[in-house]
């Protein structure tokens, strides 16, 4: 996919981009470390236990959380299940095609999943109904509606926002029978992980790359940072390389950028709850 | 805590900055244009490189450079419980990052309209199989005579019992706190693979990365010895 | 001739510092020159080159190659030259004023025929083009086929053909050496052909070792019938 669209990008535009980057500017007027406008709307899918629609510039994704009751994994009998999936819908761009997820979509889902899992955002030990037998299974499915770069962050913010607003229908085992009660429990949250994706274009590091910038980038790094400012998951992608100095730069950049975005998500999620 | 490290020694008897035993062989498969076999701890991995060769299917052909393809695959018997032979999502992701770790080293522009295929087959798996696979693949690519800007060597570091250690084994990966696989182009001093599972502060991150790079350089020495032995040993005998 | 420094190198290995021309399989990292292949680096006033010791055959204009016809189209034969590119021999090259309506290409060559040819054109965007219009080129009628690694061909030929001439003079066999690693050996009797093949196999195995010509000569003199 990237190959075909790379033919589409105009060379003049690429030259312009690279010239601008040298003086610390970008094609859309942003500074190197500025995010595009982030819009989050939660709870819009009533059939899902949690949902969020995220727009990051023109990139638009929707995440839905469904809760089921399942058997735990044999090696983790005292933990609930967490399954994260992402799909680029055919309607998302002229280059997306229906069919099984390609390696880019698989990487996207696995990197977002890793950020949620490794930060221990959700306290899975609190999602047990009966040890060894019945646990809550949290299914998070993300659909990409429109692609304009940085699917990693947009997807991660949608997943995090949807999880933060998820209400789990409470189940109980009474006389060996699984019964759905009318009560709901809040998702047990430990921390709010924030994914920060940076692209290296001609030795400049920019955050939140657009589609156009991704077509020109040498390498991409996604770092997920928790509330204690620890890096929990990292993925370097694409064919370029990074120097040790550049890696040191992006660790600090990721930690710095994560603070604002976490506040923004908290504002949307908790602000809304207060209104209700 | 304290299960994996006791008195400064790790569960398998290693020091914090010690690699597991590494052994590489070159030219192990006769049909392949380049091949290598690596034992990295309990990992046993064979890698074949075919190419430059004709591109099939034709639509994958690129007019300005070679098409690089990579398949990382685990044999069903390579793990404790039989693995379904169909490629899992994990294997598809590792195939992608392996390709991206090797690609910056390869001068693909020299081979337009051709394909280079890398097959990484894990016969027995242990922690750090992607790093071992990348290390062996770089040796196989050199053996295949593909033009390379640099070698690629790979090694992981991580955090176990609150301590940064080199080269995470299977147990340390499952029970430990962080695992960071890194691939390095030692002469260009560039990092081509970097992933992390687990929590590290900014300071720990730098320390862990430095550990991983030291491991990469040790692996690089083993790669060089292996290739020199295979290609130049007759020289030393006759001189 | 200026002094040539030789050095065994691996991809990424440092060769030399300074402003040399990069002739073959060498790149510049900062101010130092590094190898891109496993091979023998040669540093001279001309520049730096690395003679590779591994790799498949990549066609070059002017190369003499031995190939097999694998298919035929209306205007050309397709020839397998042991490379990732299929080569083409245009019918024009064989027929004077070729007319596809009149001339029967099958009268000249057929699928399966072995040819000695020269590469006349090849670049990044086009498959190699062949010619058989020269002396010693064309269909191979007799001989024993031997395949060696294409990277060992320069050693088999030797400096100004010294190695291959040594072999031919002693065994009285004729060896056609394709740059693509395919050789055709013809000679008077079976045993001298076998001896020639033995010498070639030793050269392939020990291509990077010094004094090879001398050792091959001694071996041939000793075992010659």
pLDDT at B234 over 70: no
Question: If 0-12 CB within 10 Å is exposed, 13-18 middle and 19+ buried, where does residue B142 land?
Answer: buried
Distance CA B120, CA B72 (A): 5
Picking from A213, A165, A200, A196, the residue whose alpha carbon sits closest to that of residue A261 is A196
Q: Whole-angstrom Cα distance, residue C225 to residue C64?
A: 31
Is residue B14 within 8 Å of residue B20, measured between CB atoms? yes
Bridging pattern class, strands C48-52 and C39-43: antiparallel
Closest in A110, A234, A252 to B89, CB measured: A110
B225 vs B237: CA distance, rounded Å: 15
- State whether C208 and C193 are in the same domain: yes
pLDDT of residue B124: 97
Give CA separation, B110 vs A64, B234, C22, C50, in Å.
Answer: 47, 30, 15, 15
The answer as to whether C57 is a domain residue is no
pLDDT for residue A275 is more than 60: no
The lowest-confidence range among A22-36, B172-186, C21-35, C201-215 is C201-215
Nearest CA in chain B to C8: B232
Contacts of residue A113 in chain B, CB cutoff 8 Å? Answer: none
Is B231–C210 a contact, with Cβ atoms under 8 angstroms apart? no
C30 touches chain B (CB under 8 A): no
The answer to whether C151 faces chain B, any CB pair under 8 Å, is yes
The A residues from 144 to 203 touching B (CB cutoff 8 Å) are none
Chain B residues touching residue C37 (CB < 8 angstroms): 142, 145, 147-148
Nearest-by-Cβ selection for B148 from C12, C53, C208: C12
Q: Do B231 and C37 touch (CB under 8 A)?
A: no
On whether residue C59 sits in a domain, the answer given is no
Residue B181 β-bridge partners: B156
* Partner chains of C (3+ C-beta pairs under 8 Å): B
Q: Would you say residue C58 lies in a domain? A: no
Burial A210-234 (b: 16+ CB within 10 A, else e): bbbbbbbbebbbbbbbbeeebbbbb
- Which residues in chain B are contacts of C84 at CB distance < 8 A? 51-54, 111, 114-115
Q: Is residue A2's pLDDT more than 60?
A: no
Given a contact cutoff of 8 angstroms between Cβ atoms, the answer to whether B194 and B38 are in contact is: no
Average pLDDT of B84-93? 96
- Residue of B72, B158, B179, B196 to mutate, testing the A interface (most A Cβ within 10 Å of its Cβ): B196
From residue C140, how far is each of B34, C55, C115, C116, C192 by CA, in Å?
31, 26, 6, 7, 20
Which of C139, C169, C201 represents a domain boundary (last residue)?
A: C139
Measured CA to CA, the distance from residue B50 to residue B31 in angstroms comes to: 9
Mean per-residue pLDDT, B35-43 = 97
Per-residue pLDDT tens for A159-197? 999 999 999 999 999 888 899 999 999 999 999 999 999
* CATH number of the domain to which C16 belongs: 2.40.50.100
Say what the pTM is.
0.91
**Chains adjacent to A (≥3 CB pairs closer than 8 angstroms):** B
* A107 reaches B (C-beta below 8 A): yes
CB contact under 8 A, A119 and B199: yes
Percent of chain C's residues with pLDDT above 70: 98
Whether residue A13 lies within 8 A of chain B, CB to CB, comes out as no
Those residues of chain B whose CB sits closer than 8 Å to some CB in chain C are: 33-34, 51-54, 63-64, 105, 107, 111-115, 142-151, 185-188, 224, 227-228, 231-232, 234-235, 238-239
A199 in Cβ contact with A219 (< 8 Å)? yes
**pLDDT value at residue B233:** 79
The closest of A118, C217, A258 to B199, measured between CA atoms, is A118
Question: How far lies A7's CA from each of A2, A4, A216, in Å?
Answer: 9, 6, 11
- Cα-based distances in Å from C7 to A199, B82, C52, C171, C208: 40, 48, 12, 33, 11
Distance (Å) from the alpha carbon of C92 to chain B's nearest alpha carbon: 26
β-strand partners of A59 = A56
A contacts of B97 (beta carbons < 8 Å): 107, 235-237
CA of B187: which chain C residue's CA is closest?
C12
CA distance C215 to C224: 14
What HEC string does A99-139 produce? CCCCHHHHHHHHHHHHHHHHCCCECHHHCEEECCCEEEEEE
- Kindly state whether C8 is in contact with chain B, defined as any CB-CB distance less than 8 angstroms: yes
> 3-state DSSP call for residue B182?
strand
- Nearest residue on chain A to B67, alpha-carbon basis: A3
The region of weakest confidence among A127-131, B165-169, B207-211, C3-7 is C3-7
How many beta-carbon contacts under 8 Å exist across A and B? 90
Q: Min CA distance, B88 vs chain C (Å)?
A: 31
End-of-domain residue from the set C139, C167, C188:
C139
ipTM reported for the complex, 2 dp = 0.92
Residues of A with Cβ-Cβ distance to B201 under 8 angstroms: 228-231
Partner-chain residue, chosen from B93, B180, B185, that has the shortest CB–CB distance to A241: B185
CATH class of A35-275: alpha beta
Q: Return the percentage of chain B with pLDDT > 90, whole number.
A: 91
With contact defined as beta carbons under 8 Å apart, do C93 and B183 qualify?
no
* CA dist., res. A10 & res. A20, Å (int): 16
The pLDDT value recorded for residue A95 is 81
Confidence of residue B232 (pLDDT cuts 50, 70, 90): confident
The yes-or-no verdict on residue A276 having pLDDT over 60 is: no
DSSP-assigned beta bridge partners for residue B184: B153, B191
Tens place of pLDDT per residue across chain C (225 aa): 456 778 999 999 999 998 999 999 999 999 999 999 999 999 998 899 999 999 999 999 999 999 999 999 989 999 999 999 999 999 999 998 888 888 889 989 999 999 999 999 999 889 999 999 988 899 999 999 999 999 999 999 988 899 999 999 999 999 999 999 999 999 988 999 999 999 999 999 888 788 898 999 999 999 886
**Reduced 3-state DSSP string for chain C:** CCCCEEEEECCCCEEEECCCCEEECEEEECCEEEECCCEEEEECCCCEEEEECCCCECCCCCCEEEEEEEEECCCEEEEECCECCCEEEEHHHCCCCCCCCCCCHHHCCCCCCEEEEEEEEEECCEEEEEECCCCCCEECCCCEEEECCHHHHHHHHCHHHHHHHHHHHHHCCEEEECCCCEEEEECCCHHHHHHHHHHHHHHHHCCCCCCHHHHHHHHHHHHCC
Q: What percent of chain A has pLDDT over 70?
A: 94
**C-alpha separations of A38 from A76, A159, A256, A263 in Å:** 37, 14, 17, 12
Q: Do B197 and A244 touch (CB under 8 A)?
A: no
- Interval B95-115 mean pLDDT: 97
Our answer on whether C and A touch (3+ beta-carbon pairs < 8 Å) is no
The verdict on a CB contact (< 8 Å) between A107 and B196 is no
- Picking from C141, C147, C124, the residue whose alpha carbon sits closest to that of residue C58 is C124
pLDDT, residue C225, reads 67
Are C58 and C170 in contact by the 8 Å Cβ rule? The answer is no
C27 part of contact set with chain B, CB < 8 Å: yes
| Closest Cβ–Cβ partner in A118, A243, A248 for B199 | A118
Q: Which CATH number does B15-238 carry?
A: 3.30.230.70
Q: Tens digit of pLDDT for each residue in A72-103?
A: 999 899 999 999 999 999 999 888 888 888 99
Q: Which residue has the higher pLDDT, B221 or A178?
A: B221
- A247 near B CB under 8 A: yes
Which of B97, B103, B190 is opposite residue A242, by nearest beta carbon?
B190
Q: Which domain holds residue C168?
A: 144-224
The arrangement of strands across the sheet holding C174-177 comes to: C144-147, C182-186, C174-177
Does the beta-carbon distance from C12 to B64 stay under 8 Å?
Answer: no
Q: Among B140, B104, B105, B102, which residue's Cα sits nearest to residue B227?
A: B140
Q: Which of C16, C52, C70, C84 to mutate to test the interface with B (most CBs of B within 10 A)?
A: C84
Strand pairing class (C14-17; C32-35): antiparallel
Residue of B nearest to C12 (CA): B150
The number of beta carbons lying within 10 Å of the beta carbon of residue A155 is 30
Give backbone dihedrals phi and psi of A47, rounded to 5 degrees, phi first.
-75, -20
- CA angle, C6 as apex, C1 and C8 as ends, to 5°? 160
Number of structural domains (chain C) is 3
CB C11 within 8 A of CB C38: yes
- On whether any CB of chain B is under 8 Å from the CB of C209, the answer is yes
Compare all CA atoms of chain C with the CA of B34 and give the residue at the minimum distance: C55
Rg of chain A over Cα atoms, rounded to whole angstroms, equals 20
3-state secondary structure chain A: CHHHHHHHCCHHHHHHHHHHHHCCECCCCCECCCCCCEEEEECCCCCCCEEEEEEECCEEEEEEEEEEEECCCCCCCCCCEEEEEEEECHHHCCCCCCCCCCHHHHHHHHHHHHHHHHCCCECHHHCEEECCCEEEEEEEEEEEEECCCCHHHHHHHHHHHHHHCCEEEEEEEECCEEEEEEEEEECCECCCCEEEEEEEECCEEEECCCHHHHHHCCEEEEEEECCCCCEEEEEEECCCCECHHHHHHHHHHHHHHHHHHHHHHHHHHHHHHHHC
User: What local confidence, expressed as pLDDT, does residue A273 receive?
Assistant: 60
Q: Chain B closest CA to A276's CA: distance in Å?
A: 35
Q: How far is A240 from chain B (nearest CA, A)?
A: 6
Partners of A233 on chain B (C-beta within 8 Å) are 196-197
Q: Do residue C209 and residue B231 have CB atoms under 8 angstroms apart?
A: no
Dist CA A194 CA C164 (whole Å): 68
Which residue in chain A is spatially nearest to B194 when comparing CA positions?
Answer: A236
Answer yes or no: do C82 and C134 share one domain.
yes
């Amino acid at each position: 996919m990237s190959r075909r669209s790379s033919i589409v990008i105009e060379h003049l535009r690429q030259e312009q981009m690279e010239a601008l980057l040298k003086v610390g500017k970008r094609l859309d007027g942003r500074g190197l470390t500025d995010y595009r406008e982030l819009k989050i709307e939660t709870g819009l899918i009533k059939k899902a236990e949690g949902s969020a629609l995220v727009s990051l510039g023109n990139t638009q994704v929707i995440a839905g959380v469904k809760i089921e009751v399942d058997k735990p994994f044999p090696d983790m009998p005292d933990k609930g299940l967490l399954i994260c999936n992402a799909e680029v819908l055919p309607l998302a761009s002229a280059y997306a095609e229906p069919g099984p997820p390609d390696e880019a979509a698989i990487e996207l889902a696995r990197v977002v999943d890793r950020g949620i899992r490794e930060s221990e955002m959700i306290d899975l030990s609190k999602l047990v109904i009966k040890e060894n037998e019945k646990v809550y299974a949290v299914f998070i499915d993300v659909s990409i509606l429109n692609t304009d770069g940085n699917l990693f962050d947009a997807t991660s913010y949608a997943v995090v926002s949807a999880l933060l607003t998820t209400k789990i229908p409470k189940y109980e085992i009474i006389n060996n029978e699984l019964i759905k009660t009318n009560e709901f429990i809040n998702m047990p949250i430990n921390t709010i992980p924030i994914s920060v994706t940076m692209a290296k274009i001609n030795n400049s590091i920019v955050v939140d790359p657009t589609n156009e910038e991704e077509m020109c980038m040498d390498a991409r790094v996604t770092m997920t940072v928790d509330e204690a400012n620890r890096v929990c998951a990292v993925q370097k992608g694409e064919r370029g390389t990074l120097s040790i100095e550049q890696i040191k730069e992006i660790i600090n950049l990721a930690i710095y950028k994560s603070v604002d975005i976490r506040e923004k998500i908290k504002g949307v999620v908790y602000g809304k709850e207060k209104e209700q | 805590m304290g299960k994996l490290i006791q008195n400064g020694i790790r569960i398998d008897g290693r020091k914090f900055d010690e690699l597991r035993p590494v052994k590489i062989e070159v030219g192990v498969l006769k049909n392949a244009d380049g091949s290598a076999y690596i034992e990295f701890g309990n990992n046993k991995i064979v890698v074949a490189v075919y190419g430059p060769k004709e591109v099939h299917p034709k639509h994958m052909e690129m007019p300005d450079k070679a098409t690089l393809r990579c398949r990382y695959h685990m044999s069903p018997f390579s793990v404790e419980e039989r693995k379904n032979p169909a490629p899992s999502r994990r294997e598809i992701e590792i195939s992608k990052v392996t390709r991206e770790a090797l690609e910056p080293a390869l001068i693909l522009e020299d081979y337009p309209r051709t394909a280079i295929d890398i097959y990484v087959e894990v016969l027995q798996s242990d922690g750090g199989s992607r790093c071992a696979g990348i290390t062996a693949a770089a040796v196989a690519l050199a053996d295949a005579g593909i033009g390379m800007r640099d070698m690629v060597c790979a090694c992981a570091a991580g955090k176990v019992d609150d301590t940064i250690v080199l080269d995470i084994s299977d147990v340390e990966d499952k029970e430990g706190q962080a695992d960071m696989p890194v691939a390095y182009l030692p002469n260009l001093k560039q990092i081509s693979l970097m992933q992390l599972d687990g929590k590290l502060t900014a300071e720990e991150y730098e320390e862990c990365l430095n550990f991983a790079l030291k491991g990469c350089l040790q692996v690089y020495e083993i790669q060089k010895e292996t290739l020199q032995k295979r290609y130049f040993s007759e020289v030393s005998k006759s001189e | 001739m200026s002094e040539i420094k030789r050095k065994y190198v691996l991809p990424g290995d440092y060769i030399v510092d300074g402003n040399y021309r990069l002739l073959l399989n060498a790149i510049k990292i900062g101010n130092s020159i590094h190898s891109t292949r496993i091979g023998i680096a040669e540093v001279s006033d001309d520049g730096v080159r690395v003679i590779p010791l591994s790799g498949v055959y990549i066609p070059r204009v002017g190369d003499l190659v031995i190939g097999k016809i694998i298919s035929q189209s209306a205007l050309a034969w397709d020839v397998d030259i042991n490379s990732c590119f299929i080569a083409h021999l245009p019918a024009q090259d064989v027929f004077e004023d070729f007319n596809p309506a009149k001339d029967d290409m099958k009268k000249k060559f057929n699928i399966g025929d072995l040819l000695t040819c020269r590469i006349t054109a090849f670049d990044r965007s086009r498959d190699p083009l062949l010619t058989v219009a020269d002396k010693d080129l064309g269909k191979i009628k007799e001989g024993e086929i031997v395949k060696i690694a294409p990277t060992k061909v320069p050693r088999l030929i030797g400096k100004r053909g010294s190695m291959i001439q040594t072999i031919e003079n002693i065994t009285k066999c004729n060896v056609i050496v394709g740059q693509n690693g395919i050789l055709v050996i013809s000679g008077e009797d079976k045993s001298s052909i076998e001896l020639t093949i033995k010498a070639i196999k030793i050269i392939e195995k020990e291509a990077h070792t010094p004094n090879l010509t001398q050792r091959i000569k001694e071996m041939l003199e000793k075992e010659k019938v």
